[in-house]
Homo-oligomer: A and B are copies of this chain.
Amino acid sequence: MSERTHVFQSPKGTRDFYPADMALRRHLESIWRQMSINHGFEEIDGPTFEHLDLYTVKSGEEIVSQLFRFKREGGDTDYALRPEFTPTLARMYAARAGSLPNPTKWFCIPNFFRAERPQRGRLREFYQWNVDILGDPSSRADAEVVAAAIDALQCLGLKGSDITVKFNHRELIAEVIRQASVSSVNVEAVMGLLDRRDRIEMAEFERQASSLGFDAKHFDSHVGEVAAVINEAIASLETGREPSASNRGPIVGQVVALCRELAARGILNWCEFSPSIVRGLAYYTGMVFEIHEAAGKERAIAGGGRYDGLIELYGGPPTPAVGFAMGDVVIRLVLEDKGLLKPGEEYLPRPDVFVISSGDHLAEKEFASLIARLRREGLHARHSYRATKNVGKLLGEASKVRARLAIILGKELEGGNIIIKDLESGQQRETPLDGVLHALRTMLAETA
């Protein structure tokens, strides 16, 4: 390879989005965006890179170890590409907390960067939907973010049998941990161990539990009792009955309140109490949840929870907060696996009209100016770049690009008329060139 003919490639773990891939990305993003808006969230965004210390303060160790860090040439400020959104959100909320509505409901769909080993479901650059409610401590807010996630997944074609929303409560687990400890334990360390439980050998789990003074048998049994109470409440709510008053303490009461809110929104049947879900990130304080493919295929589709202490850490007032994130990589794998994605080409915007010139003098004269006028008036108008003037071949090209209508500029122009053909029904009509916009809009409204 000579210096002048490099073959370049995109960096490892990043993607080139050609039109069909991009159309698919936009399809996903537009459902995320529309569902966020329907649910009353407002879109925000922050810088693609932040000061490094925004992340070293409170992001999990794993995330900090995967930062892409840099300085400006000749500068000494440390920056990092954003690996997640929560620190930016907390910074932005803290900076204007006094003038923001209560609650503040924000969403965003930015890209994030992690210098990890690219693998199935994980890339170095990915897109992620973030949804957060700030200022509302209630179970209603918890249920609201879960509802937004479920509605988007449903809109993407997933059914209740395809996915499971697994939820838990960190305080509940912390309480059971404390009760199942032979000595005063570090609850966070045990929580971390429980988060890794499915991924490490049982012997290793037991060794670590024992070194932390944590009695896993007692924990499992106690958690089982709590789960039974909660599952009974869920069973009541699913059949429209009010659950019997719980005597299991205030946190179980909170979990039951969440279930009631989920039931009121018609989504309790998508959800399941899962005491093994504790989430790796240290900033979660209450309800936590993950959305998984029902059979456990792929990594988690989404994850989130309540993080009531975080805004304060970034200089804001004490602010209850709850939210979740859903990346584009795993959901795409799940949708593909279930046959819920059409080929990317089918998500490309369809041309409203394909303009064809028969090659006559008058047709050639009108051709460019007609197309320019249609586009300026808001229509998606295309034409062939081939030399042929064979109307049949050009109609074939129009169908191939999935145009709805075709305009044929032919001998009718001598009388001031053109032909408009509906490419789906095959019907065509002759109409004055003067009134072409009105005629096209009418036909497009009919075929839409």
Binding site for B on A (CB under 8 A): 4-12, 14-19, 22-23, 25-26, 34-35, 37-40, 42-51, 53-54, 57, 65, 67-70, 72-73, 75, 77, 79, 81, 88, 91-92, 94-96, 102-103, 106, 111, 113, 115, 125, 136, 140, 147, 151, 154, 261, 264-267, 312-315, 348-349, 351, 368-369, 372-376, 378-383, 385
Known contacts A47-B125, A385-B103: A372-B147 contact under CB 8 Å: yes
Q: Which of B5, B14, B315, B385 touches A47 (beta carbons < 8 Å)? A: B14
Q: Are A372 and B47 in contact (CB under 8 A)?
A: no
Q: Which of B37, B42, B111, B375 touches A48 (beta carbons < 8 Å)? A: B111
* Docked pose: A67 CA to B75 CA in angstroms: 12
**The 10 nearest A-B residue pairs measured at CB:** A70-B70, A14-B47, A19-B42, A265-B372, A264-B368, A17-B45, A7-B315, A38-B375, A8-B91, A72-B115
Shortest C-beta distance, A282 to chain B (Å), equals: 14
Q: Which residues of B contact A102 (CB under 8 A)?
A: 385
Q: Which of B54, B65, B113, B372 touches A264 (beta carbons < 8 Å)? A: B372
Q: Which residues of B contact A17 (CB under 8 A)?
A: 44-46
Q: Which residues of B contact A43 (CB under 8 A)?
A: 19, 22-23, 26
Known contacts A70-B70, A264-B369, A348-B42: A47-B11 contact under CB 8 Å: yes
Known contacts A6-B315, A73-B67, A314-B8: A47-B16 contact under CB 8 Å: yes
Shortest C-beta distance, A406 to chain B (Å), equals: 14
Q: Are A40 and B372 in contact (CB under 8 A)?
A: no
Q: Which residues of B contact A382 (CB under 8 A)?
A: 40
Shortest C-beta distance, A361 to chain B (Å), equals: 14
17 contacts between A and B (CB under 8 A): A8-B315, A9-B95, A10-B46, A16-B44, A19-B43, A22-B45, A25-B45, A34-B378, A38-B380, A40-B381, A67-B73, A140-B368, A147-B372, A151-B375, A151-B376, A266-B373, A266-B376
* Docked pose: A191 CA to B67 CA in angstroms: 43
Q: Which residues of B contact A91 (CB under 8 A)?
A: 8-10
Q: Are A265 and B79 in contact (CB under 8 A)?
A: no
Q: Are A380 and B37 in contact (CB under 8 A)?
A: yes
Since A9-B91, A67-B73 are in contact, a sample of 7 more A-B pairs with Cβ atoms closer than 8 Å, ordered by chain A residue number, is A6-B315, A8-B53, A9-B51, A11-B51, A14-B48, A48-B81, A69-B73
Q: Which residues of B contact A348 (CB under 8 A)?
A: 42
* Docked pose: A22 CA to B261 CA in angstroms: 31
Q: Which residues of B contact A95 (CB under 8 A)?
A: 7, 9, 16
Shortest C-beta distance, A71 to chain B (Å), equals: 8
* Docked pose: A22 CA to B374 CA in angstroms: 30
Q: Which residues of B contact A351 (CB under 8 A)?
A: 40
* Docked pose: A73 CA to B266 CA in angstroms: 47
Q: Are A96 and B313 in contact (CB under 8 A)?
A: no
Q: Which residues of B contact A67 (CB under 8 A)?
A: 73
Shortest C-beta distance, A7 to chain B (Å), equals: 4
Q: Are A92 and B48 in contact (CB under 8 A)?
A: no
Known contacts A11-B51, A51-B11, A315-B8: A46-B380 contact under CB 8 Å: no
Q: Which residues of B contact A151 (CB under 8 A)?
A: 375-376
Q: Which residues of B contact A147 (CB under 8 A)?
A: 372, 375
Q: Are B375 and A73 in contact (CB under 8 A)?
A: no
Name which residue of chain B comes closest to A123, CB basis. B47
* Docked pose: A54 CA to B264 CA in angstroms: 55
* Docked pose: A75 CA to B68 CA in angstroms: 11
Shortest C-beta distance, A66 to chain B (Å), equals: 8
Q: Which residues of B contact A264 (CB under 8 A)?
A: 368-369, 372
Name which residue of chain B comes closest to A79, CB basis. B11
Known contacts A136-B385, A376-B154: A94-B7 contact under CB 8 Å: yes
Q: Which residues of B contact A113 (CB under 8 A)?
A: 48-49
Shortest C-beta distance, A75 to chain B (Å), equals: 8
Name which residue of chain B comes closest to A350, CB basis. B37
Q: Which residues of B contact A45 (CB under 8 A)?
A: 16-17, 22, 25
Name which residue of chain B comes closest to A100, CB basis. B18
Q: Are A125 and B48 in contact (CB under 8 A)?
A: yes
